[in-house]
C-alpha cells in the first residue's frame, strides 16, 4: 500500500481475528480510510520525496508571499528550491542556495531571505517529508512523486528509465494516469515501456517506490492518527453486512448504528493535522 496509517495486523489484533479470510478487505478499508483522512488534512502522511512540487510566489491579490508552506511535513531534507523565469513554453529555472532561505523542518515552512518572486506556480521545491511508518509496522517506506524519467518524449519513443530501481510505479502521460495494462515493467528494475499507441506527446511523470527504501525512526506516525484510522476501519468492517441500515433488530434486542464514518472525537483529532496554505 502506497500510503497507509495502519496495517491489517494491527486491525486484526483489535478484532481478535487470526484468519486471513478478510485480509484483502482490511487492505482496501485501510487504503480508503487513509485516503479520506489525507484529503481532509490536505497532506500525505508517510515519508516520501516530492520532486519539483510547484508553489505560488504570490497570493490571489498579486502580493508577494513572505514564505512557502510546503504541502507536507515534517521536512527531513530540502534537495532544491528554484524559481522560474521566461515563457511557459520554454521556462528557465534558477536555483536558490542554502544560504538564501531558512526552513522550519517540523512545520514545513520555507522562509526566503526577502520576498518570493511574484507569480503563480513559479516556485518549485524538491524535498523529502512525512512520518516514518516504523511504529505501525511499516519498516521501509519511501515513495518518489512526480519524477521525470530519462527518455525522449517525442510521440514515438516508448521506453523510459527512472533514476533508481523500483518495486512499483505509477505513470502519468500528459497528466493522465496510464493504465498498468499499458505498461511493461518488472519490479526491481528502472526501465519501463509503454504499449504501442500510448506514448506521451508533451510530458511524462512517474511516482515510484525505490527498491532500497529509506527508514527514518526519528519521526514516526502520530499514534492518535493511527488510532483514528483503525477505529474507522473496525467500524466499517463491522457494518459491512448492514450497509444502508440505521438500526436492526435481533429477537428482543436492537442495534442502532452510528451513521457517521468519523465520530466527533475522530474529527477533532484529524483537525489537528490539517495543512493550511496562504492564498
Residues 220-233 have pLDDT tens digits of 899 999 999 999 99
Is position 272 within any domain?
A: no
Is position 18 within any domain?
A: no
Is position 115 within any domain?
A: yes
Average pLDDT of every residue of the chain: 87
Share of the chain above pLDDT 90, in %: 59
Provide the whole-model pTM.
0.77
3-state secondary structure of 225: helix
The label of the residue with cell 438500526 reads 247
Q: How much is the average pLDDT of 142-149? A: 88
Report pLDDT for 137. 82
Is position 111 within any domain?
A: yes
Enclosing domain of residue 74: 48-129
Q: How much is the average pLDDT of 66-76? A: 91
| Alpha-carbon distances, residue 30 vs 33, 125, 148, 168 (angstroms) | 5, 30, 29, 19
Q: Which pLDDT tens digit goes with each residue over 206-219?
A: 999 888 765 555 67
Is position 152 within any domain?
A: no
Is position 63 within any domain?
A: yes
Give the three cell numbers for residue 111.
Answer: 522562509
Report pLDDT for 154. 87
Spell out a b/e string for 214-248, using b for 16 or more CB atoms within 10 Å of the CB, else e: eebeebbbbeebbbbbbbbbbbbbeeeeeeeeeee
Total tally of structural domains belonging to the chain:
1
pLDDT at 173 over 80: yes
The label of the residue with cell 530519462 reads 150
Secondary structure percentages of the chain, helix, strand, coil, to 5: 20, 35, 45
Report pLDDT for 196. 84
Is position 76 within any domain?
A: yes
Is position 279 within any domain?
A: no
Give the three cell numbers for residue 231.
Answer: 477505529
Q: Are strands 159-173 and 247-250 parallel, antiparallel or unpaired?
A: unpaired
Per-residue confidence band for 11, with pLDDT thresholds at 50, 70 and 90: very high
Q: Which pLDDT tens digit goes with each residue over 147-159?
A: 999 999 988 899 9
Give the three cell numbers for residue 225.
Answer: 492518527
Report pLDDT for 161. 97
Helix ranges restricted to H, 150-263 = 223-238
Among 12-21, 97-106, 120-129, 256-265, whose mean pLDDT is lowest? 256-265
Q: Which pLDDT tens digit goes with each residue over 108-120?
A: 999 988 778 888 9
Report pLDDT for 258. 54
Amino acid at each position: 500500500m502506497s500510503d497507509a496509517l495502519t496495517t491489517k495486523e494491527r486491525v486484526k489484533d483489535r478484532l481478535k481475528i487470526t484468519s486471513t479470510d478478510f485480509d484483502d478487505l482490511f487492505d482496501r478499508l485501510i487504503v480508503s480510510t487513509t485516503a479520506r483522512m489525507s484529503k481532509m488534512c490536505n497532506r500525505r502522511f508517510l515519508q516520501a520525496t516530492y520532486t519539483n512540487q510547484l508553489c505560488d510566489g504570490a497570493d490571489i491579490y498579486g502580493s508577494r508571499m513572505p514564505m512557502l508552506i510546503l504541502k507536507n511535513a515534517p521536512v527531513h531534507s530540502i534537495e532544491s528550491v528554484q524559481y522560474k523565469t521566461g515563457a511557459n513554453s520554454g521556462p528557465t529555472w534558477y536555483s536558490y542556495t542554502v544560504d538564501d532561505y531558512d526552513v522550519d523542518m517540523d512545520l514545513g515552512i520555507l522562509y526566503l531571505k526577502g520576498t518570493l518572486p511574484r507569480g503563480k506556480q513559479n516556485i518549485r521545491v524538491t524535498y523529502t517529508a512525512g512520518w516514518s511508518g516504523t511504529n505501525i509496522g511499516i519498516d521501509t517506506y519511501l515513495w518518489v512523486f512526480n519524477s521525470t524519467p530519462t527518455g525522449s518524449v517525442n510521440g514515438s519513443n516508448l521506453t523510459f528509465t527512472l533514476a533508481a530501481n523500483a518495486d512499483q510505479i505509477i505513470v502519468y502521460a500528459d497528466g493522465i494516469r496510464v493504465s498498468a495494462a499499458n505498461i511493461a515493467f518488472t519490479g526491481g528494475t528502472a526501465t519501463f515501456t509503454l504499449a504501442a499507441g500510448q506514448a506521451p506527446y508533451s510530458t511524462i511523470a512517474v511516482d515510484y517506490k525505490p527498491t532500497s527504501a529509506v527508514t527514518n525512526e526519528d519521526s514516526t506516525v502520530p499514534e492518535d492518527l493511527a488510532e483514528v484510522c483503525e477505529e474507522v476501519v473496525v467500524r466499517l468492517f463491522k457494518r459491512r453486512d448492514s450497509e444502508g441500515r440505521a438500526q436492526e433488530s435481533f429477537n428482543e434486542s436492537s442495534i442502532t448504528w452510528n451513521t457517521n464514518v468519523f465520530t466527533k472525537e475522530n474529527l477533532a483529532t484529524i483537525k489537528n493535522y490539517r495543512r493550511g496554505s496562504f492564498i
